[in-house]
Structure 1
Amino acid sequence: MSPNRALLRHPAGWIATGFGSGFAPKASGTVGSLAALLPWWFLRELPPWAYLAVCAGFFALSVWAAQWVIDQIRVDDPGLVVADEWVGLWLTLFLLPDGLHWIAIGFAVFRVFDILKPWPVSWADQKLHGGFGSMLDDALAGVYGWLTVSALVALSSRGL
């Protein structure tokens, strides 16, 4: 077992790596985001307050888990930590209407904001460290994603 895979011996390792999806050899953020769609499929059935409570709870739990992984491997914001992608994508897909095209649009919009990191996402990425910093930049990208997708949904409902 590789040293990083040994992280899976602890619950924090499972949480931080998106239940192992962060071990993808390439594009771990994209793979982690894809893995986040499975639990989202069930989360989307929750009332809005419960959905946001799950997002907030998973964010808090993931801050702890990401910090644990960072402490183990001594790398700040390691690529194998993808719990941040989970929260960010879930925020982007909040109150999303039905339709595979909306899921694809939401996924793409989140990945663009996560990769390009407009302000304040870039500020959080550069200035905040540890588990909280690892989580916050993607949560902010998720809020940008939600605002963008919500605007696209509103425009499409008006036939624009």
Structure 2
Amino acid sequence: MNDTPSPPRVVLTHPAGWIASGFGVGLSPKAAGTCGSLAALIPWWLWLQHQPWPIYLLVIAAGFAIGVWAAGWVIGKTRIEDPGVVVWDEFIGQWIALWFAPVGLGWLVAGFALFRLFDIWKPWPVRWADDKLHGGFGAMFDDVLAGVYALLVLQAAAYFLR
């Protein structure tokens, strides 16, 4: 008999679990990553998009560091290498994708779609990071790379469409 607690029970027992799960969003029974990316749009829309780039960068760096700790805690408790309940990586990746995004709902939707595309498709080196890096850092870093891809494509589109 497996005495390892189920991810939802573990997540609700510690602040690291709440953070890693995107404050419970990762408990969604379907498409937890997409739900995490959608949830990340709320603080971005209400606060983060209005911050100067040094504050934005500080939020991403601190969020990444906290995410490494939180994801590592959940991974240690669940003994699952990349548990679906961990969606804080989607928050950070989505915020990276939307860094310097032009104002407008269309750009928000495009940034969301591009991040989800690169997070699911996992072009190199995103797939490499997903396969080779482990623990909290590994859980977080592949989404950082997917966010960078989305950022670059969104910024190129903004440049050429203006």
Q: Per the shorter chain, which TM-score range? A: over 0.9
Matched, 1:12 2:22: no
Give me the identity figure in percent. 57
The letter of the residue matching 1:82 is V
2: CA distance between counterparts of 1:97 and 1:82? Answer: 25
Out of 117, 138, 142, the residue aligned to residue 137 of structure 1 is 142
CA RMSD of aligned residues (A): 1.0
- Tell which deviates more after alignment, 4-13 or 25-34: 4-13
In structure 1, list runs of 5 or more residues that go unmatched. Answer: none
Q: How many Å apart are 1:5 and its aligned residue? A: 2.7
**SS of residue in 1 equivalent to 2:103:** coil
1: CA distance between counterparts of 2:158 and 2:124? Answer: 24
Matched, 1:76 2:81: yes
**SS of residue in 2 equivalent to 1:77:** coil
Q: How many Å apart are 1:8 and its aligned residue? A: 1.7
1:146-157 → structure 2 map (5 Å cutoff): 146-157=151-162
1: CA distance between counterparts of 2:71 and 2:106? Answer: 32
2: CA distance between counterparts of 1:3 and 1:84? Answer: 20
Matched, 1:32 2:36: yes
2: CA distance between counterparts of 1:143 and 1:96? Answer: 12
Report how many residues are paired: 156
1: CA distance between counterparts of 2:48 and 2:13? Answer: 27
2: CA distance between counterparts of 1:102 and 1:83? Answer: 22
TM-score (norm 1): 0.95
1: CA distance between counterparts of 2:101 and 2:144? Answer: 17
Q: How many Å apart are 1:9 and its aligned residue? A: 2.3
1: CA distance between counterparts of 2:7 and 2:62? Answer: 25
Aligned residue in 2 for 1:47: 52
2: CA distance between counterparts of 1:79 and 1:62? Answer: 14
**SS of residue in 2 equivalent to 1:44:** helix
TM-score (norm 2): 0.94
2: CA distance between counterparts of 1:70 and 1:4? Answer: 9
Question: Would you identify which runs of 4 or more consecutive aligned residues in structure 1 move more than 6 Å?
Answer: none
